[in-house]
């Protein structure tokens, strides 16, 4: 843009990125004041999107809590798995969300039952997290289950249990996104939490 009293912006593009810009408060040659900013170089990938491995590596730097989410299948059998893709969504109404791979053996159970329970794991429950990340047939072996009023399997010793009714299911690429309407919360334990970071367990 040129003319007295107006701003003029020149953007100089480098290889796939902005390398700097110049702006002035008037016409060239008429006492305009110019400022040049250099070194603004933001390298861009040659591809249109990150690869699955690049995304895995980036997300591994993001520390999360660890949960086990449970429900029951059409035959009434307990279903559950370890999940760290869990997050709150809304306070009014109270909503949470988590993600499940499309090919998961648990998907039929979570699609069938209208309720699920989220268990926030304590620091001393790493072995339980590993068990529920293993073979589906062995996940509930040796676990002293309780059952709530909605028929959900409840695990002992967790920091908190969040009881939900399925609110919405969305398709998200190779995962399903389950949103839950929170019906009740139970804070069972006030100890440190189990944490997952850089593909390793830790604690707060």
Instruction: Please state the rounded mean pLDDT for residues 19-30.
Output: 41
pLDDT by residue (tens digit) across 136-185? 999 999 999 999 999 999 999 999 999 999 999 999 999 999 999 999 99
Which pLDDT value is given to residue 187? 86
Confidence category of residue 43, pLDDT binned at 50, 70, 90: low
Q: Three-state DSSP class for 59?
A: helix
Which pLDDT value is given to residue 47? 65
Rounded CA-CA distance 120/174 in Å is 25
Which pLDDT value is given to residue 35? 46
Mean pLDDT score across all residues of the chain: 84
Instruction: Please state the rounded mean pLDDT for residues 113-133.
Output: 97
Q: Which residues contact 181 (CB under 8 A, 6 or more apart)?
A: 93, 94, 95, 164, 165, 166, 167
Residue 96 pLDDT greater than 80, yes or no:
yes
Confidence category of residue 188, pLDDT binned at 50, 70, 90: confident
Q: For the chain, list the strands marked E by DSSP.
A: 8-13, 18-24, 34-38, 64-65, 67-72, 78-83, 86-90, 95-101, 115-120, 146-147, 153-154, 160-172, 175-187, 194-197, 200-203
Confidence category of residue 129, pLDDT binned at 50, 70, 90: very high
User: Which residue, 128, 152, 129, 154, is CA-closest to 142?
Assistant: 128
């Amino acid at each position: 843009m040129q003319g007295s009293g107006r701003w003029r912006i020149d953007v100089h593009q480098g290889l796939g990125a902005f390398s700097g810009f110049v702006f002035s408060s008037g016409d060239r040659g008429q006492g305009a004041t110019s400022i040049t900013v250099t070194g603004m170089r933001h390298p861009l990938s040659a591809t249109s999107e990150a690869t699955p491995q690049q995304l895995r590596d980036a997300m591994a730097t993001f520390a999360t809590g660890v949960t086990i989410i449970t429900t029951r299948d059409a035959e009434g059998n307990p279903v559950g798995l370890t999940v760290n893709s869990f997050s709150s969504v809304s306070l009014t109404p109270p909503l949470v969300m988590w993600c499940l791979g499309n090919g998961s053996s648990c998907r039929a159970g979570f699609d069938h039952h209208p309720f699920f329970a989220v268990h926030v794991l304590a620091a001393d429950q790493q072995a339980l997290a590993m068990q529920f990340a293993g073979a589906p047939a062995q996940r509930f072996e040796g676990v002293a289950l309780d059952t709530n009023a909605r028929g959900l399997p409840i695990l002992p010793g967790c920091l908190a249990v969040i009881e939900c009714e399925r609110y919405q299911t969305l398709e998200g690429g190779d995962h399903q996104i389950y949103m839950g309407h929170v019906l009740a919360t139970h804070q069972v334990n006030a100890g440190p939490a189990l944490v997952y970071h850089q593909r390793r367990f830790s604690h707060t």
